[in-house]
A and B are shown apart, each in its own frame.
Chain A
Amino acid sequence: MTDLTTTDRPDQTAPHEAADPDRPVHPLSAGHEHRPDEPRFDGRRGRWVGASVPRREDPRLLTGRGRFVDDIALPGMLHAGFVRATVAHAHVTDVDLSATREVPGVVAAFDGADLALGDIVAILDRPPEEFTPTAMPVLAKGKVRFVGEPIALVVASDPYAVEDGIEAARVSYDVLDAVVSSASALAPGAAVVHEEAPDNVLLDVSMFDTPGVDEAFAEAAGDDAERSSTRRGCVVEVTTRSGRQNALPLETRGAVASWDARDDQLLVQTCTQVPHQVRTVLARSLGIPERTVRVTVPDMGGGFGQKCVVGREEIAVAAAARRLDRPVKWIEDRREALTAGFLAREQEYRTRAAFDADGHITALDVDVVCDMGAYSCYPFTAGIEPLMASAEMPSVYRVPAYRVRGRAITSTKAPTAPYRGVSRPQYVMAIERVMEKAARALGMDPVEVRRRNVITAFPYTGINGVTYDPGTYRESLDLAEATIREEGWFEARERGDRHLGIGFCCFSERTGYGSEAFAKRKMTVVPGFDISEIRMDTTGSVVVTSGTMNHGQSHETTFAQIVADRLGLDPEQVKLRQGDTERISYGWGTFASRSVTIGGSAVALASERLGELLCRIAAHLLETRPENVALDGDGGVVQLDDPSRTRSGAEPDPSPKRLSFADIADVAHLRAHLLPKDVDPTLTATASFDVPGDGTFSNATHAAVVEADPGTGQVRILRYVCVEDCGVVIHPQVVDGQCRGGIAQGIAGALFEEVTYDDQGEPSAASFIDYLVPTATEIPDVSIAHLETPCAFTANGAKGAGEGGTIGAPAAVLNAVNDALRHTGVELDTTPIHPGTVLDALEGTS
């Protein structure tokens, strides 16, 4: 039994001891070209991967020497802010900035017509009946579609003057009806948000409709007279809803833009998860060559998806900097972040499922409606959430017949971006509610129902056409349940003296979508690959690049571990560079748990290539055959038949046949005439990586024990257990951190946070007073156990670990609350769960 009180990794800080103390050949140095169908991960472990080494990021962040966007100050820098819409839906009849321009300190004010920027447009390659493209202007053009939409930009000498300037702006509106819910958006005669989509539907896709769906429902409902009534299955129906949420990085969005005449380049320093996409869109919007834009990313205070789409504000600020030829800074304030930043999560699932009498699911029929808000985000489009849900809805279960309709609707609320988990918290909640309801209908144990349906044989190709690589679905479920059982929680619940409830959630998560998987969604901009370049300098230390973008996930540490193992270096000798479009030719940034799976693989492959190059040069210098040398795991290359290494007990050879990396690097840079004829000077290698096919799935089971307070209806989480499998763990502490942080955000969505609006579309949670972010007293300690199913086709055997926590928590908590309320007959299917609702249930008034 895994001990859940620890992470089951006794060695938390020291690097792994080498299996063979002599280490004649570094185990990962053998280099050969991989065929595409060949497994990448060969099961060999290094010295650093798997160890919780001290984080490279920590010293600067702990001493206040990190550099975040708002820490940047440039000579002559101006400050910017936005005049934003004060109504949810209106034609803008006039924008008057004349008084603004008179405010002391104000340098300039621009509206959409002044800047004349190209729109941000994200498109799916789908027919018009499935997808309607819409444009997001950088500054509103003639119409506003949510409270907070940027209309004009005010630039001033200091942020206080910016505020005064914004206050002096006058905007006239011809107000239209607000569209504040998916129901009202779809109602006949609803106000139209985008003329291109008169029905307010941006995406409407029906998928699968496999044979046997209706038959299975008929049979489960007992319509089949052949079946005896004692062997009847059941049909369960549930409508689950999740409230609109804010991903809420603690650092708000922001940008500092400046024009560099010498570089002939606009430098945009901004906290984005996708610097290259910002560059691409920015260049197109301004109508300038992409080489004249450089996007760099300083330290970033979280993102969670909110910063993985291209925002309009950074483009406006860049345009102003170019126009004024002065550096311009914009830092989003918290009110803007809560009301006008990219939001997420507001979805409704109407799910029907048929089960046979033994608790096997026989059919699934789902209608998903996602309220995407006012605009489609770049590059993912408004289709991302319903398409994700439709493709992956069967989750970890063997579903034999499946039908789904997914819709993205537009409303007059701030637009959405793919927040950590992207529809998975919602569809997992839907299907996990289905499991619970079926268990009740059939009089079975809910964990047992899951057990009977969960995928156990891999690879498994589901009804959705997706192939799932091996995982520990059943094992994680068993371990989570056994832990809760052994701790006595079931008995405590049975005593009945408290309102205790136990909830489970079993799920998997496709991590590191490759180009092939994204192309299946029919995106016209297809993320997927990642690249890495590695360079060794004359001292033998290395700089490695990645197109991924750290914002708390510890890439500087974990990628250094990967490189260190591949080359036989200390991680301290490895420096990661990310977030600079001049250093990395193209990349897709960090989202969808792709960094270690894809970026980490590219980094590993580039390192291997550099290792091969080092070996080749060393063989030449040692005057031996290339096969006769290998990396020695300690910063050098050895000659394999070197007599000084094999003579036992004898005096060491006075001149061992070994060259350090510094020796080789010295030749490669400073004495290039000594290089082999067919080797170019300097030491660089590049590699790219893309996940083949359907990608790799991490999995987990979460278990929550909650207590509902009969006096207040408050839900307290007494115990939280997470059993997860993300393949090979590069850095155990970091993976635990991702789990815990994700779970906290999932709990936030389950119990606390919701972005709400009044009938006019005015957001009613514009500060932390109304948007309830949980603190240390609301988030419980979480015990984590790791199972490990190495991924066969990533270079390190790792699967993604960034999102899982967020995915499992809402369903686990919701199921636990329903369990606590089981005696009341009330079932809740909406998050966040409000204390008042729980209280009503307990008091029998609901």
Chain B
Amino acid sequence: MNDPHLLSLTVNGAEHEVVVEPRRTLADVLRHDLRLTGTHVGCEHGVCGACTVLVDGAPTRACLVFAVQAEGADVRTVESLARDGELSDLQRAFGDHHALQCGFCTPGFLMLAEGVLAEQPDASREDIREALSANLCRCTGYQTIVDAVHATACSRRETERSGARPVDWESCS
């Protein structure tokens, strides 16, 4: 039952094949097998959200998912957000609003927020606060994280209204 599996999955647009034990978590595969250490682990029991990544577009706790469950999935991690050395609008908003101090929770919040903004493009500040309560931050007191995500939501809505091409997040690879 501990026999290794050959797992194939797409991470940040690149296809990978990894040999994994069935009990190996997706977080461990991302961090230690693929060396994508931007995804952090804060509790390993599904509460802190530091390990949040997008699996087929949905925010997912990578510590709760066995890697084998992600067979064939499209996984996005924090490493996919910046393009050609340019921070994304959401990343810039985090910096502008001082939404990170130690930065340990930040990748999880960024990926959670990307999921929330995709699912609820019209989210109000209170909707965003509610959605972000899925993750823990010990440094900031959350206010500036809510501000950063809300500012991004507003500017994305503005972009959409003004007819400019919206950020086509899914097509970025």
With A63-B79, A737-B101 already in contact, the answer to whether A334 and B43 are too (CB < 8 A) is yes
**DSSP class of A's interface residues: helix, strand, loop or mixed?**
loop
Chain A residue nearest to B102 (CB atoms) is A552
Docked-complex contact A58 and B94, CB < 8 angstroms: yes
Chain A residue nearest to B109 (CB atoms) is A776
Chain B residue nearest to A766 (CB atoms) is B45
Q: How many of B's residues come within 8 Å of A, CB to CB?
A: 55
Inter-chain contacts of B43 with A (CB < 8 A): 334, 767-768
| A741 interface residue (CB < 8 Å to B) | yes
| A70 interface residue (CB < 8 Å to B) | yes
Which one of A59, A248, A250, A304 contacts B50 once the chains associate, using CB atoms below 8 Å? A250
Shortest distance between the CB of A110 and any CB in chain B (Å): 24
Shortest distance between the CB of B64 and any CB in chain A (Å): 13
| B16 interface residue (CB < 8 Å to A) | no
| B13 interface residue (CB < 8 Å to A) | no
Which one of B77, B94, B138 contacts A64 once the chains associate, using CB atoms below 8 Å? B77
| B137 interface residue (CB < 8 Å to A) | yes
With A64-B39, A64-B107, A250-B136 already in contact, the answer to whether A334 and B44 are too (CB < 8 A) is yes
**Bound form: Cα–Cα A67–B103 in Å:** 11
| B5 interface residue (CB < 8 Å to A) | no
Inter-chain contacts of B44 with A (CB < 8 A): 333-334
Shortest distance between the CB of B63 and any CB in chain A (Å): 10
Shortest distance between the CB of A832 and any CB in chain B (Å): 17
Shortest distance between the CB of B83 and any CB in chain A (Å): 11
| B163 interface residue (CB < 8 Å to A) | no
Chain A residue nearest to B35 (CB atoms) is A73
Inter-chain contacts of A768 with B (CB < 8 A): 43, 45, 47-48, 136
Contact with B along A349-366 (1 / 0, CB 8 A): 000000000000000000
| A71 interface residue (CB < 8 Å to B) | yes
| B167 interface residue (CB < 8 Å to A) | no
Shortest distance between the CB of B132 and any CB in chain A (Å): 5
Which one of A64, A302, A551 contacts B79 once the chains associate, using CB atoms below 8 Å? A64
**Bound form: Cα–Cα A250–B105 in Å:** 7
Interface residues of B in 47-79 (CB under 8 A from A): 47-48, 50, 77-79
Query: Chain A: interface residue count, which band?
Result: 35 or more
Interface residues of A in 51-66 (CB under 8 A from B): 52, 54-55, 57-59, 61-66
Contact with A along B12-44 (1 / 0, CB 8 A): 000000000101100000011001111111111
Interface residues of B in 73-130 (CB under 8 A from A): 77-79, 81-82, 87, 91, 94-95, 98, 100-107, 110, 129-130
Chain B residue nearest to A252 (CB atoms) is B42
With A64-B37, A73-B32 already in contact, the answer to whether A334 and B45 are too (CB < 8 A) is yes
**Bound form: Cα–Cα A52–B95 in Å:** 11
**Bound form: Cα–Cα A773–B78 in Å:** 24
Shortest distance between the CB of B61 and any CB in chain A (Å): 12
**Bound form: Cα–Cα A779–B32 in Å:** 34
Residue positions of A touching B, CB distance < 8 A: 52, 54-55, 57-59, 61-68, 70-71, 73, 160, 248-252, 299-302, 304, 333-334, 551-554, 733-734, 736-737, 740-745, 767-769, 773, 775-779, 781-782, 805
A-B contact pairs, 11 of them (CB 8 A): A58-B94, A64-B36, A73-B35, A250-B48, A553-B101, A734-B98, A740-B141, A741-B141, A769-B45, A769-B47, A775-B133
